[in-house]
Chain A
Amino acid sequence: MPGRGTSRPGTGPGESRTGRDATGTGRGARGRRDRGARSVDPRVGSRGRQRLEVLLFTGPALVLFALFVVWPIAKALQFSVYRWKGFGPLTDFVGLRNYGNVLQNEVFTGALVHNLVIVVASIAIQLPLGIAIALLLNRKMWGQGLLRTVVFVPYVLSEVITGVVWFQLLQPQYGVVDTLLAAVGLDGPAEGWLGTPDRALLTVLVVLTWKYLGLAVILFLAGLQGVPDELFEAAEIDGASWGQIQRRITLPLLGPTLRTWAFLSMIGSLQLFDMVWILTGGGPANSTTTMATFLVNEGTKRQNYGVAAAASVVLFVVALVLALTYQRFVLRRDLDTDGGRR
């Protein structure tokens, strides 16, 4: 980040007074330049003292981060090449065999496919719906503020609460969803929406949409606030219709928000655990397993720590590859323009 001079040619503390005076009196372009090129930093006592302060300030955070983030991740890497049931020393080195097991395990590859389906479907469903609702709520209307609050409510509830409530609503026969369907002459599946293997994933997707659509709407609404009014005025003077304005101006200018939201949604979909665990536990017949439910299952229920660790590494690599690809091809323009502004 080029903003504040990152490289500071070392200078003695004695000169600092001059440096400060220059900055204090300099105005406009001169002041700016002085600030950027300020080779003498009045704020630093000695280098040793500065180093001590940096250490004291960042130290606690770094220790916590190293202990609870870096170390466990390094451990996961280590576990992934051992056969380990969770007790005794790590002795049974198996190389990449756990990875082989994971990648050949149909439950895991199925989980990977489910995760990817959820990634694509979440974006494909929530993006158009989110934009439509954001445009709707962006119109001046009575109760607008209340509406925006309401839309956000599902996002505020925990996934567990959402899952438990929806589980009850989706109960076969006597759940309210089936009752409402019956009222219009439709029958729910006999085993229930969550009990039928070829419907369960779709049902999970519906619940996920309910829970996370509000986040998309709120973010898109915020993006809409950032679009300058002048553009709309100009377009209107030129005789553009509401629809044309949305297509030609709003959507393109909303681009960065949409792309960043899609990125967050993607990462979240890959890590999906809570909702699935509550709604289906990965079933029926593994039709809704995700990589996260797979690895928790392997680790806690079967004590296959090596396999679980390998699965978690695969999950991370998939997320990383997807994130980097996305950044390379989609996010890059946003980052570029951002860098230019700074």
Chain B
Amino acid sequence: MTATTERRGAPTRPPGRPASDTRGTRTASRRRRSGGGTPLVYALALVVVAVTLGPVVYGVLGGFRTNAQLAESPAALPNPWVMSNYTGVLTNPAFWRYALNSTVIALLTTALVVVLGMMAAYPLARYRFKGREQLFLVFVMGLLFPVTVAIIPLFILVTRDLHLGNTWWGVALPQAAFALPMTVVILRPFLQAIPDELEEAALLDGATRVGFFWRVLVPLSGPGMVTVGVLAFVGSWNAYLLPLLLLQEKTKTLPLGVADFSSQYASDTAGVFAFTTLAMVPALVFFLAMQKRIVGGLQGAVKG
């Protein structure tokens, strides 16, 4: 695939156009570098789109069909369009309960991660004390521990020792704890990059270092906090294993609800499609709105 792209792609740059023509502007050089859109490029892009969106679109459309339609001709469009699957889910109180639980748990996790992560990253970034790097290393080591490794003791700790099984906090607290390492690792360089001069000026004006944190650093760190916040929210919203072990019945989150619904009504394919579609809508809307942040966060994580 690569080979053909390359070979076909090469002649798209008009060989006649001298390089010096466009040297002046940066955008022009970027355009030249990236090559142009030939019919083949568009065709390949269409294939990518079809493969990527195909299953999602199929699921969305599947929700508008009846099971009879789905069984008869699985690849056809809805005919007629049926609303009952979607209205069935939307009038199902369990669906709204799952959504509420997911939202609250994700918000709690995000708040914990952002507040505690900022607080922890501040001294690690801007104080000088003995053992600072060692303390930072504690958090870095945390990156190595997946929740899977600790899942059984965590289950026992939360349900038996803390009696937080089946509660929002019981999931939010461990999720926040496991998200903290990444948060601190992302936020520390962010806080370090804020110029010393600002801090000195603030202190000259009589601010304490705590005051500097609240009045200067926190407002300036908005983008960094949004990044780690979105990452924490995404992680919590999509989490399955921890909620699976810790939550039952009334406190279940959307992923648990989707899994339950699909195994309980396995033969009702159209209903399952409607349920999963509605379950993915809020996430898709939120995440696409925040896409730049998510990507930025991931890049930050990759650069580590």
Residues of A in contact with B (beta carbons under 8 Å apart): 1, 3-6, 8, 20, 23-24, 35, 41-45, 50-51, 53-54, 57-58, 60-62, 64-65, 67-69, 71-73, 75-76, 79, 86, 128-129, 131-133, 135-143, 147, 149-154, 156-161, 164-169, 171, 174-176, 179-180, 183, 210, 214-215, 218-219, 222, 229, 232-233, 236-237, 241-243, 246, 257, 260-261, 264, 267, 271, 273-274, 277-278, 292, 295-296, 299-300, 305, 308-309, 312-313, 315-316, 319-320, 323
The A-contacting residues of B in range 1-48, CB under 8 angstroms, are: 1-3, 5-7, 9-10, 13, 19, 23, 26, 29-37, 41-42, 44-45, 48
Contacting pair B9 A242 (CB below 8 A): yes
- Find B200's partner among A20, A67, A140 (CB 8 Å cutoff): A20
Task: Give me 16 other A-B pairs in contact (C-beta within 8 A), A137-B45, A313-B149 excluded.
Answer: A58-B119, A58-B120, A67-B157, A68-B157, A131-B2, A141-B41, A152-B291, A158-B237, A158-B255, A160-B256, A161-B280, A210-B55, A243-B3, A261-B302, A273-B240, A312-B152
A57 to B118, CA, bound (A): 9
**Contact residues, B116-156 vs A (CB, 8 A):** 116-117, 119-120, 122-124, 127-129, 132-133, 135, 138-139, 142, 144-146, 148-156
Q: Which of B35, B62, B178, B245 contacts A168 (CB 8 A)?
A: B62
Chain A positions within 8 Å of B186 at CB level: none
Bound state CA distance, A316 and B42, in angstroms?
44
In whole angstroms, what is the CA distance A175 to B35 when docked?
40
Once A23-B200, A68-B157, A183-B75 are accepted as A-B contacts, the answer to whether A274 and B241 lie under 8 Å apart by CB is yes
Residues of A near B304 (CB, < 8 A) are 260
Residues of B close to A277: CB separation below 8 A: 240
Q: How far is the CA of A146 from the CA of B38 in the complex (A)?
A: 18
By the criterion CB–CB under 8 Å, are B127 and A54 in contact?
yes
24 contacts between A and B (CB under 8 A): A6-B128, A42-B203, A43-B209, A57-B119, A60-B119, A60-B120, A64-B177, A68-B157, A79-B152, A128-B2, A133-B48, A140-B31, A141-B37, A141-B41, A156-B288, A158-B280, A160-B256, A164-B272, A165-B276, A175-B74, A183-B75, A219-B298, A277-B240, A292-B241
Which residues of the partner chain B approach A278 to less than 8 Å between Cβ atoms?
A: 259
Nearest Cβ on chain A to B285's Cβ, whole angstroms: 10
- Please state if B129 and A50 are interface contacts (CB–CB under 8 Å): yes
Find the residue from A35, A156, A299, A308 having the highest chain B CB count within 10 A.
Answer: A156
CB-defined contacts of B237 to chain A, threshold 8 Å: 158
A155 and B178 alpha carbons, distance in the complex (Å): 20
Structural contact, B152 and A164, CB atoms closer than 8 A:
no
**B205 contacts the other chain (Cβ, under 8 Å)?**
no
Complex Cα spacing A1 to B136, Å? 11
**Interface of chain B, main secondary structure:** helix
In Å, the complex CA distance between A64 and B184 comes to 13
B269 within 8 A of A: yes
Distance, CA A111 to CA B255, complexed state (A):
24
Contact residue range for chain B?
35 or more
Q: How far is the CB of B296 from chain A (nearest CB, A)?
A: 9
Report the bound CA distance from A133 to B51 in whole Å.
Answer: 12
In angstroms, Cα B151 to Cα A265, docked, is 21
Chain A residues near B52: list those with CB within 8 A: 150-151, 153-154, 210, 214
Q: Which residues of B contact A24 (CB under 8 A)?
A: 200
Q: Which residues of A contact B1 (CB under 8 A)?
A: 129, 132
Neighbouring B residues of A20 by C-beta, 8 Å: 200, 204
Contact B36 A141 (CB under 8 A): yes
When the two chains form their complex, are residues A161 and B276 in contact, meaning their CB atoms are under 8 A apart? yes
Given the complex, which residues of B lie within 8 Å of A35, measured CB to CB? Answer: 196
B104 to chain A, nearest CB (A): 17
CA distance A157 to B237 in the complex (A): 10
Are A73 and B150 in contact, CB atoms less than 8 angstroms apart?
yes
Chain A residues, Cβ within 8 Å of B78:
none
Distance of A299 Cα from B59 Cα, bound (Å): 34
* B210 (CB) vs chain A CBs: closest residue: A53
Instruction: Report yes or no: B13 in contact with A242, Cβ–Cβ below 8 A.
Output: yes
CA distance A317 to B143 in the complex (A): 14
In contact, A76 and B150 (Cβ under 8 angstroms): yes
Quick check: A168 and B203 within 8 Å, CB to CB?
no
Task: Give a binary string over B148-186; 1 marks a CB under 8 Å from any A CB, 0 the rest.
Answer: 111111111100000000000000011011101100100
Chain B residue at smallest Cβ distance from A277: B240
State the CA gap A8–B130 with chains docked (Å): 9
Closest chain B residue to A174, Cβ basis: B71
Instruction: Flag whether B112 is at the interface (Cβ < 8 A).
Output: yes
Query: How many whole Å from A265's CB to the nearest CB in chain B?
Result: 11
A156 near B144 with CB under 8 A, answer: no
Tell me whether B258 is interfacial, beta carbon within 8 Å: yes
Bound-state CA distance A156–B144 (Å) is 23
CA distance A19 to B153 in the complex (A): 51
Q: Which A residues are in CB contact (< 8 Å) with B26?
A: 229
Chain A residues closer than 8 Å to B90, beta-carbon distance: none
